[in-house]
């Protein structure tokens, strides 16, 4: 393999003085909670390489040539599925796309049977989206290949958190989140994006603020309190508030989360109008943030509700960059996971490795 | 032939197979626990022709070397709450496999819940269960509750009087609460008239709609929909208020609250009992010994997850997550709570608020459990591990051995004795080591550890969170009503 076709010589080149060299040994990526900080740095560096690929006239390398990636989506999604499939094709993988509406899932086939069937059909890397929290963990227990979580219930959306982190680092001086204020505003309770971001941003040393109406923050204060004393190895504290101005003030990053209409039927919100007025990111609110602050949204957006249209299209918004970076991050993860299999000495060793949670080591500054 | 112990020894053979009268069984130098007399200590027993012929307490030189850490003899256990799934769900359990599992767990009497299909809401279903119990050949006594409401639908009362005539020991819509306060009031009055209790699964279904795990820190991190403490407290408040109301018209109304799991709901019962309300309650081994952190992958006992200040420790901070998360064998209703709630269950057991331990044995098929966590059926297959879990508590010095035995024997019998129509029946009889009575006892080795595996469980339900783990307190022998119910296959080898 030559340098032109190989996106990154990760794990084999000498590490820089700042970052300890680390090999990727996770068989699956189910959440960022078990990914150590050096591993996150590795993902970020690999993503840099993938960005380089995407900058070429022909955005394709043969790194995963002949490898079989299957996307299994139990929940409607456009951008995540297309992003994963684009990423896989950019690496020359063969992509099979399974959407539940057209599979035998609608005939009542269990997740376990579906996964065994897909494995028998040759799936090696399974990208999965599911509405039930924890579903990819069940998949990973029975699937012989690699599982990449494309979002499960309220629990986790690791690739989103990693693309968010990558995007933030691109825009922050020095690419360093330590001490930088990140405000995430919206439906935190039901958000897998928020949960994965809690793990990755507290590992990065960011000053993380979660904000939303009390009904959509249930339980988060207890979580924040538990972590307040720096109790979790490798993770700093974070804040929870319903005071949106306090959350946004002097922020380096402001992220809005989607508000779903079901929340009104569930009695959690009086009206979308009231939400927009009290929590929506409008120009006035965003002006409380630092002048150079960026505005993010994991999509899809409800413009005029959680984010005003002029904010979404302003120079501060990096929402389309998030989408573009999503492809690169997912290329990096597919690449790392596909390589992990051999590197970790096959099925057993890799499976063993993910069963044991490692103590993540964060930048020292956050202690 | 001898039991697996350094001290105790068995000198004579049993009847050859399950269901047969135990002709002769002698056990020397074991630790006897008699919760009726309150006595425990070294002793010997002799069973002849199914009768506990002699109970001899040893003293002095004879007793030397016999401790409560080895082979223990106790009265047969009584489970006030189990699911045997027949009729309707025989893939998950049958009366025969349930009885075999019970005997393996040391139980000689089990009360079945009526959430079968069809529900046990008329006498014909009870007859089916009884004939299945007879056909099983097991001497384990299978009692049953009738449903409170027809088809457990919460609309109108079941055939309560006919069910009483046929011999149910009470009424429950377990699996769900009695749907409305109004129906509960009727049920308490009508059941009270019949001298029988309403056994209530306390849950506010509005607050727990789509809930997956105890609302709290663990569920927040795992992204699981919360089952709030208020869901149980609210229901218990309702039930107690309705009971107080019903008692004015029917002094024989009785309420039993099963599988309570929260500090606050147990406090409510504690106060209601102090105020003289005829209410009783129980707790389960899993709510005593496990906590919600197991769903995240922790595998330590609930008391090991308590900090010195009595608050719950953080399994993430402790790096105590050693198992794969979202194990559906941990999905149970009410859900596993915090270590603080588990400690409250133990406190309630110790102060008599909840005198009895029940298993809520809830076997399920692989089809119902090998699914996404939030789609898995609720329940733990627990009748074979209850003793081992309580022994773990005993080993931790938090529960005296005699109290653990009482919670499995005399305490449930005393609860039944408080139900007027049953006060003089066999179910309410004092469960002691009584000379001259039919032998009804369990022999177990407190120190002998056994590994819980799918093969070692007699239940069809392999949905145990202890699969692959070791428990102390191997049951060596169970005799029910003078007949052999279970014998450890290793026991007679040496």
What pLDDT shows up at residue A22? 82
In angstroms, the CA B151 to CA B155 distance is 9
**A360 pLDDT tier (thresholds 50, 70, 90):** very low
Interface check B224 vs A, CB under 8 A:
yes
Range of weakest confidence among A332-336, A340-344, B119-123 = A340-344
A11 φ/ψ angles, rounded to the nearest 5 degrees: 80, -5
CB contacts of B322 in chain A (<8 Å) are: 356-357
Interface check B212 vs A, CB under 8 A:
yes
Given a cut of 70, is residue B420 above it in pLDDT?
yes
Angle in degrees, CA B170, B172, B173, rounded to 5 = 160
Return the biggest CA–CA distance within chain B: 66
What pLDDT shows up at residue B69? 96
Give B321 to chain A, closest Cα distance, Å.
7
In angstroms, the CA A149 to CA B256 distance is 45
What pLDDT shows up at residue A340? 47
The tens digit of pLDDT for each residue in A164-178 reads 999 999 999 999 999
Range of weakest confidence among A41-55, A264-278, B32-46, B330-344 = A264-278
**B264 pLDDT tier (thresholds 50, 70, 90):** very high
**A5 pLDDT tier (thresholds 50, 70, 90):** very low
Q: Is B360 a catalytic residue?
A: yes
CB contact under 8 A, A355 and B324: yes
Nearest alpha carbon to residue A135 among A155, A106, A107: A155
In angstroms, the CA B315 to CA B329 distance is 19
CB atoms within 10 A of CB B131: 11
Q: Which phi-psi region, left, alpha or beta, contains residue A171 (left: φ > 0; alpha: ψ -120 to 50)?
A: alpha
The tens digit of pLDDT for each residue in B305-347 reads 999 999 999 999 999 999 999 999 999 999 999 999 999 999 9
Nearest alpha carbon to residue A253 among A177, A191, A314, A202: A177
User: Could you tell me the domains of chain B?
Assistant: 9-74+435-487 (2.30.40.10), 76-425 (3.20.20.140)
In chain A, CATH 3.40.50.1370 covers 37-156+323-342, 160-321
CB contacts of B314 in chain A (<8 Å) are: 226, 231-232
Interface check B375 vs A, CB under 8 A:
yes
Token representation of residue B210? 């789509």
Given a cut of 90, is residue A115 above it in pLDDT?
yes
Q: What is the 3-state secondary structure (H, E, C) of B238-292?
A: HHHHHHHHHHCCCCCCEEEEECCCCHHHHHHHHHHHHCCCCEEEEECHHHHHCCC
B123-136 and B95-104 helices, crossing angle to 10°: 60
Q: What is the 3-state secondary structure (H, E, C) of B82-105?
A: ECCCCCCCCCCCCHHHHHHHHHHC
Q: What is the mean pLDDT of residues B59-74?
A: 95
Give A9 to chain B, closest Cα distance, Å.
32
Given a cut of 90, is residue B87 above it in pLDDT?
yes
Q: What is the mean pLDDT of residues B6-24?
A: 74
Provide the CATH topology of domain A160-321: Rossmann fold (3.40.50)
CB contact under 8 A, B372 and A111: yes
CB contacts of B321 in chain A (<8 Å) are: 357
The tens digit of pLDDT for each residue in B189-234 reads 999 999 999 999 999 999 999 999 999 999 999 999 999 999 999 9
What pLDDT shows up at residue A7? 39
What pLDDT shows up at residue B7? 54
A341 φ/ψ angles, rounded to the nearest 5 degrees: -55, -50
The tens digit of pLDDT for each residue in A64-81 reads 999 999 999 998 888 899
Given a cut of 80, is residue B5 above it in pLDDT?
no
CB contacts of A195 in chain B (<8 Å) are: 221, 223
In this prediction, what percent of chain B has a pLDDT beyond 90? Answer: 94
The tens digit of pLDDT for each residue in A182-205 reads 999 999 999 999 999 999 999 999
**A37-156+323-342 maps to CATH 3.40.50.2300:** no
* B479 in Cβ contact with B76 (< 8 Å): yes
What pLDDT shows up at residue B493? 40
What pLDDT shows up at residue B335? 98
What pLDDT shows up at residue A12? 33
């Amino acid at each position: 393999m030559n340098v032109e076709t190989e996106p990154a010589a990760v794990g084999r080149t000498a590490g820089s003085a700042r970052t300890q060299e680390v090999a990727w040994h996770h068989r699956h990526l189910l959440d960022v909670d078990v990914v150590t900080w050096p591993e996150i740095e590795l993902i970020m560096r690999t993503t840099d390489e993938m960005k380089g690929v995407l900058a070429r006239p022909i955005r394709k390398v043969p790194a995963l040539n002949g490898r079989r990636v299957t996307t299994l989506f139990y929940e409607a999604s456009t951008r995540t599925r297309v992003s994963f499939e684009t990423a896989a094709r950019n690496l020359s993988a063969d992509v099979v796309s399974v959407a539940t509406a057209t599979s035998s899932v609608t005939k009542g086939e269990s997740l376990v049977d579906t996964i065994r069937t897909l494995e028998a059909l040759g799936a090696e890397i399974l990208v999965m989206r599911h509405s039930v929290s924890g579903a990819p963990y069940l998949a990973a227990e029975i699937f012989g290949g690699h599982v990449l979580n494309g979002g499960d219930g309220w629990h986790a959306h690791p690739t989103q958190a990693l693309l968010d982190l990558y995007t933030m680092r691109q825009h922050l001086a020095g690419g360093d989140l330590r001490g930088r204020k990140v405000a995430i505003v919206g439906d935190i309770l039901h958000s897998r994006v928020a949960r994965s971001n809690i793990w990755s941003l507290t590992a990065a040393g960011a000053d993380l603020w979660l904000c939303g109406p009390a009904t959509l923050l249930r339980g988060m204060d207890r979580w924040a309190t538990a972590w307040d004393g720096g109790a979790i190895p490798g993770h700093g504290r974070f804040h929870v508030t319903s005071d949106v101005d306090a959350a946004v003030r002097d922020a380096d990053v402001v992220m809005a989360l989607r508000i779903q209409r079901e929340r009104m039927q569930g009695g959690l919100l009086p009206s979308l109008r009231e939400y927009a007025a009290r929590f929506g990111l409008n120009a006035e609110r965003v002006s409380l943030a630092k002048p150079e602050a960026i505005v993010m949204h994991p999509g899809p957006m409800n413009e005029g509700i959680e984010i005003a249209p002029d904010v979404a299209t302003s120079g501060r918004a990096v929402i389309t960059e998030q989408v573009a970076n999503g492809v690169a991050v997912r290329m990096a993860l597919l690449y790392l996971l596909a390589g992990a299999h051999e590197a970790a000495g096959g099925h057993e060793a890799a499976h063993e490795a993910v069963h044991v949670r490692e103590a993540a080591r964060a930048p020292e500054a956050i202690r | 032939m001898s039991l697996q112990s350094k001290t105790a020894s068995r000198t004579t053979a049993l009847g050859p197979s399950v269901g047969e009268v135990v002709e002769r069984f002698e056990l020397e130098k074991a630790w006897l626990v008699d919760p009726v007399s309150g006595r425990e200590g070294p002793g010997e027993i002799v069973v002849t022709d199914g009768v506990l012929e002699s109970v001899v307490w040893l003293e002095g030189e004879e007793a030397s070397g016999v401790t409560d850490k080895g082979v223990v003899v106790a009265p047969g256990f009584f489970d006030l709450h189990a699911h045997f799934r027949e009729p309707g769900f025989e893939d998950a359990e049958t009366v025969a496999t349930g009885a075999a599992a019970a005997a393996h767990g040391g139980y000689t009497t089990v009360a079945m819940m009526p959430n079968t299909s069809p529900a046990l809401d008329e006498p014909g279903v009870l007859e089916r269960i009884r004939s299945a119990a007879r056909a099983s050949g097991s001497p384990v006594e299978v009692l049953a509750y009738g449903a409170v409401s027809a088809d457990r639908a919460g609309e109108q009362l079941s055939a309560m009087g006919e069910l009483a005539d046929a011999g149910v020991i009470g009424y429950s819509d377990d699996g769900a609460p009695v749907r409305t306060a109004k129906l509960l009031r009727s049920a308490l009055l009508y059941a009270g008239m019949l001298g029988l209790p309403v056994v209530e699964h306390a849950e506010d279904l509005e607050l727990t709609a789509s809930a997956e795990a105890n609302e709290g820190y663990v569920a927040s991190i795992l992204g699981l929909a919360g089952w709030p403490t208020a869901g149980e407290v609210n229901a218990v408040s309702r039930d107690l208020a309705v009971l107080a109301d019903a008692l004015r018209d029917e002094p024989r109304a009785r309420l039993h609250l099963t599988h309570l799991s929260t500090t606050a709901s147990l406090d409510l019962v504690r106060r209601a009992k102090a105020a003289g309300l005829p209410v009783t309650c129980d707790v389960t081994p899993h709510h005593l010994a496990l906590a919600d952190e197991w769903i995240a992958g922790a595998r330590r006992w609930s008391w090991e997850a308590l900090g010195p200040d009595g608050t719950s420790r953080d399994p993430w901070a402790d790096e105590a997550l050693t198992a794969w998360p979202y194990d559906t064998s941990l999905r149970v209703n009410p859900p596993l709570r915090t270590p603080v709630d588990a400690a409250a269950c133990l406190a309630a057991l110790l102060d008599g608020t909840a005198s009895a331990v029940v298993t809520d044995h809830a076997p399920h098929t692989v089809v119902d459990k090998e699914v996404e966590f939030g789609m898995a059926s609720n329940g733990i297959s627990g009748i074979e591990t209850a003793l081992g879990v309580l022994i773990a508590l005993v080993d931790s010095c938090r529960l005296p051995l005699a109290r653990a035995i009482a919670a499995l024997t005399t305490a449930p019998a005393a609860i039944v004795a408080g139900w007027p129509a049953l006060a003089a029946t066999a179910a309410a009889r004092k469960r002691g080591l009584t000379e001259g009575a039919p032998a009804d006892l369990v022999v177990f080795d407190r120190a002998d550890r056994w590994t819980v595996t799918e093969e070692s469980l007699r239940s069809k339900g392999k949905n145990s969170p202890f699969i692959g783990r070791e428990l102390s307190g191997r049951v060596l022998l169970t005799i029910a009503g003078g007949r052999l119910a279970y014998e450890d296959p290793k026991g007679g080898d040496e």
